[in-house]
Amino acid sequence: MNIKVERVSKTGQLPDESRLGFGRIFTDHMFNMDYTPESGWHNARIEPYSPIAMDPATMVLHYGQAIFEGLKAYRGGNGQILLFRPERNVARLNRSARIVCIPEMDEAFVLESIKRLVAVEADWVPGAPETSLYVRPTVIAMDPFLGVRPSHSYRFFIILSPVGAYYPEGFNPVKIWVTDKYVRAVRGGLGEAKTPANYAASLYGAEVAKKAGYTQVLWLDAVKQQYVEEVGTMNIFFVIDGKIVTPPLEGSILPGITRDSVLTLAKHWNLPTDERLISIDEVMKAHRDGSLQEMFGTGTAAVISPVSHLAWRDEVITVGDGGVGPMANRFYTAITDIQYGRVEDPFGWIVPVKLDQ
Ligand SMILES: *Cc1c(COP(=O)(O)O)cnc(C)c1O
C-alpha cells in the first residue's frame, strides 16, 4: 500500500527542549488509515495534524473499543534517529486488536508507517539528554451505532509528541500504595491488551492512593488479592536475595517490552531471574528478613522507576535504603545507552529511521 503525504504549509517549532514535559505537545503531521469490511485497511496517508470529526454515536465513545501503543524515537549521538524494538510494539498492537475484536493490520506496513511519519517529523526529535519523540499508534471503532457488537469500520492513527527527560534531576524513587480493595484486571479479561478500559479501571484506585500521599498503586491479582501484578501502568520487578523476580504473564498483566528487555539483559549478564507468582505477604516477609533488596517498575516512559516505600495495610516499609539500588541503576543505564546508540546493541533491538524514506 502506498502512503500519500500531504505536508503542512507552515511547520511548527520545536519548543524549548528543557521544558517539554510529557504528552502535551504534538507535531505538525499525523498518520491516518481507515478500515471497512469492503476495502480492508486502506487510504494510508500522512497529513496535517487535525481533530477527528465524529458522529456523537461513534462506537468508540460508547463502548470503548480501542487499542493503542507507546514507543519512542531517540536522537543518537551522530544525529541519527533510532527506534527501540518497534516490531514488538507492532506485534502487541495486533495482539491487543485480537482481544477486542479489531481487524489486524499488516505488521511490516505499520512499522513502515511509523518510520515514514517519524522521518517526515525528523526535526521534532529533540536532542537534549534523555529527551525523545513519543509515538502513539491508536485504533478506534468508527461505526455511528448504538448497540453492543464489534464495529465494522475503524480508524488507525499515529500521533507524535516530543517528550522531556523523565528524570531531569536524576532518579526519583516513588512511594507505592498496595490495594486489596481495587483491582485493575482479571485473567480472561483485558489486562494483557493495551486498551483504554484498563486505564479507566485504574483511575479510582490511583486517586485514592494519591490522596493518601502515594504516587502509584501496586495492583494485586483480582481473584485472591494476594499476588503482585503491576505497579501503576508499569510492570514490576523485585530483587530478592540477588535474584530478579517478576510475575509471569498469565493473562492479566500487560506484556511490557521494557520488562522483556530487563529479563533479556539479566540473562545476558548471567544474573538469576525468576518469572513466578509473588505474593504481597512474601514481599513483606522478604523485607522483614532483610532479603528484599530492590523493587522497581518498568515501562517505556520512565524505563526504570525505583520504589522507595510500600504501604500495605498498617505498615509502611522502606525498600532497601529508600534510594536507587544498583540493579535499577544498571538496567536503566544499559537500556538507555542502547536506546540512544551510546553503546553497541548486541541484541538487534535498534531500528534506525532513514530520513529519505
Ligand atoms: C504499556 C504498559 C506497560 C509497559 O510496557 P512497555 O512496553 O514496557 O512500555 C506495563 N503495564 C501496562 C498496564 C501498560 O499499559
User: Quick one: which atom of ligand 1 is closest to the CA of 232?
Assistant: 13
Highest CATH level, class, for 4-164 = alpha beta
The whole-angstrom separation of Cα 250 and Cα 230 is: 12
Dist CA 308 CA 245 (whole Å): 17
Report whether 158 contacts 136 (CB < 8 A): yes
Angstrom CA distances, 208 to 177, 287, 327, stand at 9, 25, 30
Domains 4-164 and 174-339 share a fold: no
Which of 233, 304, 349 gets mutated to test ligand 1 (max ligand atoms within 8 A of its CB)? 233
Atom of ligand 1 nearest to the CA of 202: 13
> Residue 144 Cα, ligand 1 centroid: separation in angstroms?
30
Distance 142 CA to ligand 1 centre (A): 25
- The cell numbers describing 202, all together, are 485504574
Of the candidates 90, 258, 45, 70, which has an alpha carbon nearest to the alpha carbon of residue 163? Answer: 70
Q: How far is CA 253 from CA 69, 82, 248, 300, in A?
A: 15, 28, 8, 15
Q: What are the domain boundaries of the chain? A: 4-164, 174-339
Q: What pLDDT is recorded for position 349?
A: 98
Taken in order 51, 52, 58, 59, the sign of the CA dihedral is negative
Distance between CA atoms of residues 12 and 17, nearest Å: 14
Cβ atoms of residues 253 and 229 within 8 Å: yes
Do β-strands 40-48 and 29-36 pair in parallel, antiparallel, or remain unpaired?
A: antiparallel
Q: What share of the chain is helix, strand, coil (3-state, %, to 5)?
A: 25, 30, 45
Grid cell for residue 257: 517490552
Q: How far is CA 211 from CA 98, 205, 206, 296, 309, in A?
A: 37, 10, 9, 22, 16
Q: What is the pLDDT of residue 357?
A: 60
Residues with CB under 6 A from ligand 1: 70, 194, 230, 233-235, 254, 256-259, 298-300
Task: Kindly state the helix (H) or strand (E) to which residue 30 belongs, with its residue range.
Answer: strand 29-36
Closest CA to ligand 1's atom 14: 233
Which of 254, 263, 331, 335 most suits a substitution to test ligand 1, by most atoms within 8 Å of the C-beta? Answer: 254
Q: How far apart are CA 268 and CA 83, in angstroms?
A: 21
Cα of 213 vs its chain's centroid, Å = 24
pLDDT in tens, the chain (357 residues): 899 999 999 888 888 998 899 999 999 999 999 999 999 999 999 999 999 999 999 999 999 999 999 999 999 989 999 999 999 999 999 999 999 999 999 999 999 999 999 999 999 999 999 999 999 999 999 999 999 999 999 999 999 999 998 887 788 899 999 999 999 999 999 999 999 999 999 999 999 999 999 999 999 999 999 999 999 999 999 999 999 999 999 999 999 999 999 999 999 999 999 999 999 999 999 999 999 999 999 999 999 999 999 999 999 999 999 999 999 999 999 999 999 999 999 999 999 999 976
Instruction: State the cell numbers at 243.
Output: 535474584
255 alpha carbon – ligand 1 mean position (Å): 7
pLDDT of residue 292: 98
Whole-number pLDDT of residue 356: 78
What integer pLDDT is reported at residue 168 of this predicted model?
78
Ligand 1 pocket test, pick from 234, 260, 264 with the greatest ligand atom count within 8 Å of Cβ, gives 234
Q: What is the homologous superfamily of the domain 174-339 according to CATH?
A: D-amino Acid Aminotransferase, subunit A, domain 2 (3.20.10.10)
Per-residue pLDDT at 199: 96
Which among 84, 186, 235, 262 is the best mutation to test ligand 1's pocket, defined by most ligand atoms within 8 Å of the CB?
A: 235
DSSP state of 18: G
Longest Cα–Cα distance of the chain, Å, equals: 65
